[in-house]
Amino acid sequence: MALSTAYYRVLNSHSAQSTGGGRFKTEFITVSCHAETGDVANLRSMLEHHPEWMRQRGSEGWTLLHLAAAHGQRDAAEVLLGKGAVIDACDQDGATPLHWAAASGHAHVVNLLVRKGARMDAIEATGGETPLHWAASHGRLEVVSMLLSRGSDVEARAAKRRDFTALHLACADGHVDVAAALLEGGAQVDARDTGGKTALHWVVAAGRTELAELLLAKGADIDAVDGSGWSSLILAVQKSHLEVANMLLKRGARADLADGLGGTALHHAATLGQGEVARVLLTHGAKVDAADENGQTALYRAAENGHRGVVDLLLARGASVSAHDRQGLTALHRASAKGHVEVVALLIAHGADVNAKDQQDVTPLGVVIKHRHPEVVQVLRGAGGTEPEEPVEPVEEV
């Protein structure tokens, strides 16, 4: 969630200045360098001869004050303010000098600008973010603490960036100390973005265990779900973060909390072939035969995707080999259709009915003939699978 490359361009800005041609351009680049390097004597001297440069802008809309602020040149900034620099001037993206000082971590410049009346909650145009957002995203603890102590709105939303709060950004970018400061400063631990995600969702998705523990210690709802019905546990499974998933379960996360389509964390683990995660979920009480809204169990999903190890685990934990979805399809139907011969053999070895019929009276053998998997046909026939009564038209793909 880093800021745009404009952040880096402003730190190398004198080479990008575009102010016209000839001597004027050369001299403005020179005065820009003085602002960047803090050469106060030469800066003051040149501005006395060319006060119009106070109104001049570089190629990204930066003023001399933007440059001084971004480079941490407090004395240069004070000179510029003394000569009438517009303290809340916006660059082409709507960012003020305070935004750049905050993002760069120059607390002494931030202090100067705020003391001189800079708007702490000025909103830049690209993401709708305040200086606090920028400081939090870049992990600038001293600046964050200073802005909070001066009354910056800790709950300000980045209107063009999923309505993120500063806490969302600090957590997503892995800044533990900044997140702690924001929480101490009154940030709502369960504030949601436009997708319904809390800070906990973001840190779990990134596999940040320490931050997740911090948020939980501050009262984060461990079972909060986002707009898709995904809990933090489901996100941890989706991102293959076993350590985080284990921690959430130990902290009391509901193993069987279903998403918007009825799928539990175990469904997700089975679909992705995450055997160790599935084992941890089962150890913490996940229901092995929980069905989603289509009637699919974790075994069904693991079989369909050819994850033999997960299929073996689920069967060992008592998964029903005869469970079927709303269309009457069993795990054996789906494994057969996909051509997963090892899974087919394993299911049969555990008692799967080779002649089970779906709602269209189609058996696994009928399905596999349709999808042209000769090895699976051989296994099913060897196990007593009956031939379809009607001819089956093969298809090229499932």
pLDDT in tens, 85-104: 999 999 999 999 999 999 99
What's the average model confidence in pLDDT over 95-123? 97
Which amino acid, 167? L
Residues 58-89: pLDDT tens digits? Answer: 878 999 999 999 999 999 999 999 999 999 99
SS3 324: strand
**Over the chain, what is the mean pLDDT?**
91
Q: Per-residue pLDDT for 177 more than 80?
A: yes
Give the model's confidence band at 398: pLDDT under 50 very low, under 70 low, under 90 confident, else very high. very low
Question: Angle of helix 107-115 relative to helix 74-82, nearest 10 degrees?
Answer: 20
Residue 330 CA to residue 327 CA, distance in Å, equals 9
Q: Quick one: which of 244, 258, 324, 307 has its CA closest to 286?
A: 258
Q: Per-residue pLDDT for 182 more than 50?
A: yes
Residues in the chain: 398
SS3 177: helix
Residue 287 CA to residue 298 CA, distance in Å, equals 9
Q: Which of 16-20, 97-101, 334-338 has the lowest mean pLDDT?
A: 16-20
Residues 358-390: pLDDT tens digits? Answer: 999 999 999 888 778 999 999 999 999 988 776
Which amino acid, 273? G
With residue 125 as reference, give the H or E element that holds it.
Answer: none
Residue 298 CA to residue 270 CA, distance in Å, equals 6
What's the average model confidence in pLDDT over 113-119? 98
Q: Per-residue pLDDT for 11 more than 70?
A: no
What's the average model confidence in pLDDT over 24-51? 74
Instruction: Give percent of the chain with pLDDT exceeding 70.
Output: 90
pLDDT at 54: 82
SS3 225: strand
pLDDT at 186: 98
